[in-house]
Chains A and B, each alone.
Chain A
Amino acid sequence: MNIVNKKLLAKETKEEDIVPVDMRALFKDETEIIPEKLVKKYEIRMAVKKLSHWYGNNHVLSGISLPIFKNKVTAIIGPSGCGKSTFLRDLNRMNDLIKISRVRGKVYLDGINIYSEGIDLIQLRKKIGMVFQKPNPFPMSIRDNITYGPIIHGINKAYLPGLIKSYLVKAALWDEVHDRLSESAFSLSGGQQQRLCIARALSIEPEVILFDEPCSALDPHATAKIEDLITKLKAEYTVVIVTHNMQQAARVSDFTAFFNLGELIEFNSTRDLFRSPIRKITEEYISGRFG
């Protein structure tokens, strides 16, 4: 048997929910949309295979297959309502919280389908962090926002102060808040709050980080800071970012997936997708003629 993540693996996991850790083979029959040369060249960290999503009877994603490459930034773009957030939230099973949501298809991480029975959601979400569209710090002090995650995952209290600093530094927030760690997180500006949420997401040492339009509520200056941060993060993390902003996708991402009406229309390296889109509708969207 292949090396699969023991922590995620449950007793009930079926054979069909386990794949080789090298996930290239999954995209052999998807070459129409997923360029073969990319799959050959880059290491895959997560693999989405024929993912469909319903809210009640509303079919919002149909048959999405997408590789998420390791230590790269993948941008998801597409018109409002096309299912970008739904897709992103499917990657860490955040949609489980929504009663009417139904998922079919597979999402592989560490060789295991995260939708297979008995998956440990706590371990899954420790591996896949998330930053939301609107900054959502907890109603606690800045310090407690950072220590919340480590405490959950059993870090010894003695190590917490060191962690606080290291994650705030990573999120480029330390200089601004180091002398007010006990203050409420709500005393920060919107951009600072979002960086705090990034630090909070980093605090559990995830391997993949999902960003859902992290800059949509921020001004250009704060946006630039966060974009800068995201490009730095990919040295250590695999990043998926949903964005409305084409320039942002072009600036921060290595790969771009264009969604429309719940389907993956085109996927390529960001440079190629913006320079020479294959489908007409992609071209119309990125040139701003529709959307």
Chain B
Amino acid sequence: MTKEKSDNSLTEKDVSFDDLPKRKRLLNPKQSQKIGYSMLLSSIIFIVIVLGVFLGYIIINGLKSINFKFIFSSYNPTVGRYGLFPSIMGTFLLIIGSIAIAAPLGLLAAIYLTEYTKGGIIVSIIDQGINNLAGVPSVVIGVFGYALFSVYLKMGSSMIAAWLTLACMLLPTIIRTSQEALRSVPRTYREGSFALGATKWRTIRYVVLPPALPGITTGIILSLGRAAGETAAVLFVGSGVFFNRFFNGFSGTFMNLPNFLLTLYRSAGGWEQVGDVMWLTAFVLILIVFSFNAVAIVIRNRSEKQRGSY
């Protein structure tokens, strides 16, 4: 008050709020609220129906054509055996290996970027680069992985090359989601910890990471699905077919469910012959993704419960 007089011109004449001219509107606030709400409601209903039909269709058709002998046998079309097990095993190993590489690496990178850098041009270039990488089509990653791992580093067509290629594909997303999770932890937690004489690392480990964990897990869950379903990126680096065996070694080619579907689709048989098998394969793929997600969610919830519900 002592510093400067306010120069708010409205106060001169003392206009009352109700006397001020009102602007015209198409809808009154209540009407637009109603419309907004019904749009939200109808879109969620639409989504639930589509999702329900989609999943229901796969599950019903998958269960209809379920055939354990088929699921647990190896592959050899020359004798008419389209066994699924090599592909199930390949998918499993692809998920586990690529996540095992990408998750810790991505988390550490995210911690470094959010907690140890203080902005600046280089960091924002890296940040922007990560954003762009997250949007690169997987087939391009596949070409890159083929050139780098299979050819240049001489890994050939192998499970290991596929792990590394998939990890490259997943890293940007894991880094991005982990960064978001870390950033959402209030600065006041960190300050409280530093004020007690904690080092940066201890603060991150005990105060910042636990509340960020659910967000980080969500990023990993999203990645699990992508690793399981990836077709193009692994096509270049070792996805293939082999006969009469479940597993071809880590430095050999592998089969996985998405590419198995592709093989079936391209096979001479046509829908009449392979339709059932394709349903079942899709069903098993979804089952695997869901069970991995379930495990991740259980781990997340348990770690939350251990710390109480914060």
Which listed residue (A134, A140, A204) contacts B196, Cβ 8 A? Answer: A204
CB of B188 within 8 A of CB of A148, answer no
Contacts of B202 in A (CB 8 A): 152
> Could you say which interface size class chain A belongs to?
35 or more
Q: Are B189 and A139 in contact (CB under 8 A)?
A: yes
Asked if A97 meets B194 with Cβ closer than 8 Å, knowing A136-B186, A284-B2, A290-B2, the reply is yes
Which one of A124, A136, A138 has the greatest number of beta carbons of chain B within 10 Å? A138
Chain A neighbourhood of B197, CB < 8 A: 121-126, 149, 152-153, 204
Contact with B along A126-150 (1 / 0, CB 8 A): 1001101010111111000000110
A152 to B203, CA, bound (A): 10
Q: How large is the interface on B (under 10, 10 to 19, 20 to 34, 35 or more residues)?
A: 20 to 34
A215 to B206, CA, bound (A): 27
- Complex Cα distance A136/B195, Å? 11
Question: Contacts A152-B197, A184-B310, A284-B2 known; A138 to B191 CB distance under 8 Å?
Answer: no
Partner of A132, one of B192, B207, B211: B192
A195 on interface, CB distance cutoff 8 Å: no
Bound Cα distance A136, B188 (Å): 6
B1 CB within 8 Å of chain A: yes
Does B198 contact A152, Cβ atoms closer than 8 Å? yes
> Is A224 interfacial (CB-CB < 8 Å)?
no
**Distance from A239 Cβ to chain B, minimum over Cβ atoms (Å):** 15
List the A residue with the shortest CB-CB distance to B195: A130
| Residues of the B chain whose Cβ atoms lie less than 8 Å from the Cβ of A132 | 188, 191-192, 195
Q: Is the CB of B194 within 8 A of A148?
A: no
Asked if A197 is at the interface (CB within 8 A of a chain B CB), the reply is yes
Residues of chain B within 8 A (CB-CB) of A153 are 197
Q: Are A186 and B310 in contact (CB under 8 A)?
A: yes
Question: Pick the contact of A201 from B186, B195, B307 — CB < 8 Å?
Answer: B195
- CB-CB contacts below 8 Å: B111-163 with A: 118-119
Across the interface, which residues of A come within 8 angstroms of B206, CB to CB?
138, 140, 148
- Taking a contact as CB atoms under 8 Å apart, the answer to whether B194 and A94 are in contact is yes
What is the bound-complex CA distance between A122 and B196, given in angstroms? 8
CB <8 Å contact, A148 and B193? yes
> Is there an interface contact between A136 and B189, defined as CB atoms closer than 8 Å?
yes
Chain A, residue nearest B199 (CB): A122
Identity of the chain B residue whose Cβ is nearest the Cβ of A152 in the assembled complex: B198
Chain A CB within 8 A of B21 CB: no
Cβ of B198: which chain A residues have Cβ within 8 Å of it?
122, 148-149, 152
* A272 CB within 8 Å of chain B: no
Q: Please tell me if A92 contacts chain B, counting CB pairs below 8 Å.
A: yes
Asked if B308 is at the interface (CB within 8 A of a chain A CB), the reply is yes
A122-B199, A290-B1 are known contacts. Are A138 and B119 too (CB-CB below 8 A)?
A: no
With beta carbons under 8 angstroms apart, the residue of A92, A138, A152 that contacts B189 is A138
A152 to B307, CA, bound (A): 19
Smallest CB separation, B142 vs chain A (Å): 40
Render B269-310 as a binary contact track against A, CB cut-off 8 A, 1 for contact.
000000000000000000000000000000000000001111
Binding site for A on B (CB under 8 A): 1-2, 118-119, 186, 188-199, 202, 206-207, 210-211, 307-310
Would you list 9 pairs from A and B whose C-beta atoms are within 8 A, ordered by A residue? A94-B191, A97-B190, A121-B197, A124-B197, A136-B189, A138-B192, A138-B193, A290-B1, A290-B2
